[in-house]
Amino acid sequence: MITPNWHCVSEPSDLFDLVRTEDIASLNAEFPVERIKLTATDGATNYMWETIDAMDDDTFAKWMDYHFAVYERQDLIGAAHHTLDILRKK
């Protein structure tokens, strides 16, 4: 599943496909599309989900403010477990 240069290789039978952002860009290049945005839909949430689940409403609202302030930062995309690539047909 991992190549000598640390690239994940997924098979069609795998539940998830582990890809790098350059893999996503390469796939997009095969179609007449333009990227609107690439976002980290969960950001750092998966690393601290228990803390987030225990937050009161005010603290959670602050967490969401933070998340929406950084979820499009390309330097943080790789930390997310899930991304959303929004494309438009050309």
pTM of the model: 0.76
What is the model's pLDDT at position 86? 97
For each successive 10 residues of the chain (90 residues), what is the average pLDDT? 87 85 93 96 91 98 95 90 95
The Cα 82–Cα 10 span in angstroms is 16
Domain boundaries, the chain: 34-89
Count Cα neighbours of 80 within 13 Å in the Cβ-side half-sphere: 22
**Alpha carbon separation from 2 to 7, 10, 63 (Å, rounded):** 5, 9, 34
Report the C-alpha gap between 27 and 23 in whole angstroms: 6
For the chain, the straight-line distance linking the first and the last C-alpha, in angstroms and rounded, comes to: 34
